[in-house]
């Protein structure tokens, strides 16, 4: 189901998909437990990894005292911490901490909106699949080359580009998540009904 006008969606296609299917609340305002459970049950992600990533998200861009985060931009439902000690929690769309440069389908923050899907970037990725994939199917080699070329382009065009160790690991990890968790395989059994209508 497409998100409504006030529903939050952001830079992560995995979390956006979970919200579109109602596997986490459709308004995109979620807790550590929502993310953890949905990632494990719907994507078969390991429990340790799910806990770590969900906790990092809420700690870095949410309100850990409320145990809430927006998977997109700022939300009035996710209040600042007492005394406003860390400003307004930006949600996952806010650049820095979690969202970073050299994304596969999102722009670098220096060039504007860094959270919305860019069809032209996706089209470019598909040309790599044509050139390097197996009969047009995306393989690890496609992502390795696509990501590295994006990195070189960012270095040459974006003086404010950052790609620190954590981002490097996540950047390549995100490509791995796509390969592992979103394969185009034969139809399996239908998923159980979604809890958030």
Selected range binding ligand HEM among 8-16, 24-32, 132-140, 152-160, rule: CB under 6 A? 8-16
- Compare residues 65 and 179 and give the one whose CB is closer to ligand HEM: 179
Selected range binding ligand HEM among 25-33, 104-112, 131-139, 156-164, rule: CB under 6 A? 104-112
- Compare residues 130 and 180 and give the one whose CB is closer to ligand HEM: 180
- Compare residues 142 and 177 and give the one whose CB is closer to ligand HEM: 177
Enter the tokens of residue 179: 């390969």
CA–CA distance, 120 with 179 (Å, rounded to integer)? 21
Q: Are 110 and 161 in contact (CB under 8 A)?
A: yes
The CB-of-39 to ligand HEM minimum distance in angstroms stands at 4
34-93 residues near ligand HEM, rule: CB under 6 A: 35, 39, 43, 45, 50, 53-54, 57, 92
- Compare residues 65 and 182 and give the one whose CB is closer to ligand HEM: 182
Q: What DSSP string runs through 58-103?
A: HHHHSBTTTTBEESSS--TTSPPPGGGTT-S---TTSBBTTB-SS-
Count residues contacting ligand HEM (CB under 6 A)? 26
Q: What DSSP string runs through 119-177?
A: HHHHHHHHHHHHHHSBTTB--HHHHHHHHHHHHHHHHHH-TT----HHHHHHHHHHHHH
In the stretch 13-32, what mask flags binding to ligand HEM with x, by CB under 6 A?
xxx-----------------
The verdict on 108 binding ligand HEM (CB under 6 A) reads no
- Compare residues 40 and 81 and give the one whose CB is closer to ligand HEM: 40
Enter the tokens of residue 33: 């437990």
In sign, the C-alpha dihedral spanning 113, 118, 120, 125 is positive
Nearest to 70, CA basis, from 152, 139, 144, 10: 10
Residues forming the site for ligand HEM (CB under 6 A): 11-15, 35, 39, 43, 45, 50, 53-54, 57, 92, 98-100, 103-106, 174, 177-178, 181-182
């Amino acid at each position: 189901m497409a998100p409504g006008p006030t529903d939050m969606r952001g830079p992560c296609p995995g979390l956006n998909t979970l919200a579109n299917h109602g596997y986490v609340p459709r308004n995109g305002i979620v807790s550590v437990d929502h993310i953890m459970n949905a990632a494990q049950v719907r994507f078969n992600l390991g429990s340790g990894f799910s806990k770590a990533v969900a906790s990092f998200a809420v700690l870095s861009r949410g309100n850990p005292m409320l145990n809430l985060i927006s998977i997109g931009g700022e939300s009035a439902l996710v209040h600042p911490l007492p005394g406003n000690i860390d400003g307004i929690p930006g949600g996952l769309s806010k650049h820095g901490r979690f969202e970073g440069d050299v994304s596969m389908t999102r722009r670098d923050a220096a060039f504007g909106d860094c959270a919305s899907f860019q069809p032209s970037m996706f089209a470019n990725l598909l040309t790599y699949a044509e050139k390097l994939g197996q009969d047009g199917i995306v393989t690890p080699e496609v992502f390795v080359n696509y990501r590295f070329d994006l990195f070189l382009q960012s270095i040459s065009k974006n003086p404010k580009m950052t790609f620190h160790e954590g981002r490097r690991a996540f950047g390549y990890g995100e490509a791995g998540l796509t390969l592992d968790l979103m394969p185009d395989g034969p139809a399996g059994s239908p998923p159980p009904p979604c809890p958030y209508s």
